[in-house]
Chains A and B, each alone.
Chain A
Amino acid sequence: MTAFKKLLGILLAMIMLFSGVMALAEDVIVSESGEVENPEAIVAGENELIFWSLFSGGEGGYMEGLVEQYNATNPKMTVRNVKLNWGEYYTKLMTAVSVGKGPDIGISHIAKLPELYDQKVVTPLDEYATAMGFDWSQVNQNTLQAATIDGKIYAVPLDTHPEVFFYNKTILRDAGLLNENDELVLPQDAEEFYQFMLDMKSKLPEGIYPLSFSSAGDDPWRIIWAMYHQMDGAPVITSDLEIKLEKDKYVAALEYLKKFYDNGIIPVNLEDFYSYFMNMRGAATFITGVWATSSLENIEGLEFGVQSFPVLFGKNAQWGDSHTFILPVKPDSNAERMTEAMKFFDFVSKNSIVWASAGHVVANVNVLQSEEFAALPYRSDYADVANYVVFFEPNPFSYPIRGAMMQQIDAFLAGNQTAEEAYDNTIAEIEEIIF
């Protein structure tokens, strides 16, 4: 027994000694990490900037094209585009930066920026912008303002992307639902819109649904967001971290959306609602972000129209977010690399007509006013939606809160809880997030 105690004592001593050594190691390695150049293969070449992006599908191709165009101009440092999975992008970015392994260039949504700032993930751009003569007046000033924290600019606005309403002209024309201009006119009132869609259902051929829409994830959340703000709902959370989400309005928005599934306007539990519209025989209309425009244009035989998501509850308010370029904190970077990165941002901004082709409302005002932009079909149909977009009030928890809202909406739409429960659980989760 005493031998056992002795052994236990030795064990404890070993662990303590060991912990001490590890604690020492912490300081040494952290202080050195600024200079140490890791020889591993992941480190970008001397003349290469690593760019982590979250774009997929159609828009991913356009960004890839912009990168190739830039590299073709023989810049001092070329850009290498690494496409990450959208669902994992921020987790990956933040963990990577926290361990000093982040990329040279990143993308941030404007709503996410305060969190990245709060977690010390982003570098201010002012110095490098000045160094290469970046003209800040060329970008959308509202987004730029949102990208400015404590007097410093942390991001270059690239676009605004609202959620819009697409429709299949062929199907609707056959059903006699288009007007003389071959356009769909949506009623701008909640009850009328609902009746309109019900009516559409009765006019469509058997097996075609009026609306293709997801019942989980981002998209339902986005239109709940839009409708809640159309009711003039208070901010979900203020910059002072006060939860202001209004129960009656939020519940009303949730229940309104649910009616569309319950009455066969939207097929329930559709996993892949893009395909369901794109295959031209699943549904007549489709709600999602503007980035789908380019994919739709590439579908042979699809004749479609697009307009803004209707104003159903009085006030024009829309969901939207903005992509921005950021410089993640990187211990082994330097002013030269960052200035080169700014050159890339400048190039993309000036050439963002390509990005507009993907469907986005670009942030570069010169491009937005150009004839080329005006000549693009569809884009002008929704370009002014960007003016009605409601963002989160800047706060470091927007994205986790968005995630919580989405999860509770999912559970509500799947029939696992009532709208009131969804509201209560959302509040409980937000409280858990901001403690």
Chain B
Amino acid sequence: MTNKKSIGGILLEIVSILCMVIILIPVVWMIAMSFKTEGQQISNTWQYFTPPYTLQNYVTIFQTSKVLTWMMNSLFVALIVTALVITISTMAAFALAKIRFRYSKFMYFFFLLGLMVPTEATIVPLFVTANRLGLIDTYLGLILPALAGSMNIIIMRAFFMGIPNDLIESATIDGANELHIFLQVILPLGRTVIVTIAIFTFIGNWNSYLWPYLAAMSEDLFTLPLGIPTFIGQYTQDKVLPMTINTIASVPIIIFFIVFEKQIVKGISLSGIKG
């Protein structure tokens, strides 16, 4: 019995490792290619991964492309969006969850409606609207529409509802007003959900494509997902430079993941249950 089980266990272990290898090969290949010399003929697959290596591609990329600008833009937009999403969504979710006001049910319903409006389906009028407001080709134009989704509020409200009212009442008796309650009770207790939503907002915006594609006109405003195809479009003949720029775009987010691994894993289950 135990013997049989362990054989099965070893088999599953091998399958797990095999899956891992298959899933990671493209990423490893990408990174390996970024260290290859331009123009090298590859006669068998093994040579993709073996020396000689060079750092020349990184030098070339940083010298000839605006990858640093794009990266800073991606980072800037993603960070600002994350900060603002957290600020305005926690505020709104707090009001919906813990302030007793008329129309609170109505507002909740009104925000629920927003879950059904995907950006993809309103992209054309959104472009016209943003244009009227003078937002096309500005940082604000990249940022503001990314703040308008109501999903975060719905998730946070559900979470905040779970915070016991006793805590709020005792704070009120101590003379705290809503701002104090928000800052000193809700935010600390809502840490988990806030961090989770922050991480997902960050990843989502770091990778966002469709809206920036329309809203950013000048190269100085491109984010990485826009800049990469523009850059690669100029190199049809060799994969080395495109792979280098792909690596440059991917490594920071992978490091980010390694640092926040626990939170991300926790966060996904949270969004799954409440989503």
- A–B direct contact (CB < 8 Å): yes
Complex interface: stretch among A81-89, A355-363, A411-419? A81-89
Give CA–CA (A86, B235) in the complex, Å. Answer: 12
Whether B234 contacts A42 by the Cβ 8 Å rule is no
CB distance from B266 to the nearest CB of A (A): 36
A25 with B138: in contact, given A41-B220, A101-B217, A101-B218 (CB under 8 Å)?
Answer: no
Complex interface: stretch among A30-38, A175-183, A259-267, A334-342? A30-38
Q: With an 8 A cutoff between CB atoms, is A272 at the interface?
A: yes
CB distance from B215 to the nearest CB of A (A): 9
Q: With an 8 A cutoff between CB atoms, is A372 at the interface?
A: no
Q: With an 8 A cutoff between CB atoms, is A10 at the interface?
A: yes
Whether B136 contacts A57 by the Cβ 8 Å rule is no
Q: With an 8 A cutoff between CB atoms, is B29 at the interface?
A: no
A96 with B137: in contact, given A7-B103, A42-B217, A101-B218 (CB under 8 Å)?
Answer: yes
For chain B, residues 88 to 143, give those with C-beta under 8 angstroms from any C-beta of chain A: 103, 106, 109-110, 127, 129, 131-134, 136-139
Among B127, B129, B137, B218, the one with the most A-chain Cβ atoms within 10 Å of its Cβ is B218
Whether B230 contacts A84 by the Cβ 8 Å rule is yes
CB distance from B191 to the nearest CB of A (A): 34
Q: With an 8 A cutoff between CB atoms, is B176 at the interface?
A: no
Q: With an 8 A cutoff between CB atoms, is A240 at the interface?
A: no
Say whether chain A's binding surface is mostly helix, strand, loop, or mixed. helix
Residues in A whose Cβ lies below 8 Å from that of B103: 7, 10
Whether A99 contacts B131 by the Cβ 8 Å rule is yes
Q: With an 8 A cutoff between CB atoms, is B214 at the interface?
A: yes
Give CA–CA (A422, B18) in the complex, Å. Answer: 44
A26 with B132: in contact, given A7-B103, A83-B234, A85-B229 (CB under 8 Å)?
Answer: yes
For chain A, residues 1 to 51, give those with C-beta under 8 angstroms from any C-beta of chain B: 7, 10-11, 22, 25-26, 29-30, 33, 36, 38, 40-42, 50
Q: Which residue of B lies closest to A272 (CB)?
A: B236
CB distance from B219 to the nearest CB of A (A): 5
Give chain B's interface residue range (CB within 8 Å of chain A): 20 to 34
Whether A95 contacts B237 by the Cβ 8 Å rule is no
Whether A86 contacts B218 by the Cβ 8 Å rule is no
Whether A33 contacts B234 by the Cβ 8 Å rule is no
CB distance from B183 to the nearest CB of A (A): 30
A29, A57, A86, A95: which contacts B133 (Cβ < 8 A)? A29
CB distance from B209 to the nearest CB of A (A): 13
Residues in B whose Cβ lies below 8 Å from that of A30: 132
CB distance from B235 to the nearest CB of A (A): 8
A25, A33, A83, A274: which contacts B237 (Cβ < 8 A)? A274
A42 with B233: in contact, given A29-B132, A99-B136 (CB under 8 Å)?
Answer: no
Residues in B whose Cβ lies below 8 Å from that of A25: 132-133
A42 with B218: in contact, given A11-B110, A57-B236, A96-B137 (CB under 8 Å)?
Answer: yes
Give CA–CA (A87, B230) in the complex, Å. Answer: 9
List 8 A-B pairs, minimum CB-CB distance, nearest first: A85-B233, A42-B218, A96-B217, A56-B234, A99-B136, A7-B106, A101-B137, A85-B230
Q: Residues of A at under 8 Å CB distance from B?
A: 7, 10-11, 22, 25-26, 29-30, 33, 36, 38, 40-42, 50, 56-57, 60, 82-88, 92, 95-96, 98-99, 101, 272, 274-275, 278-279
A-B contact pairs, 15 of them (CB 8 A): A22-B132, A30-B132, A36-B134, A50-B218, A83-B230, A85-B233, A87-B233, A88-B229, A88-B230, A95-B217, A96-B217, A101-B136, A275-B236, A275-B237, A279-B41
Q: Residues of B at under 8 Å CB distance from A?
A: 41, 103, 106, 109-110, 127, 129, 131-134, 136-139, 214, 217-221, 229-230, 233-237
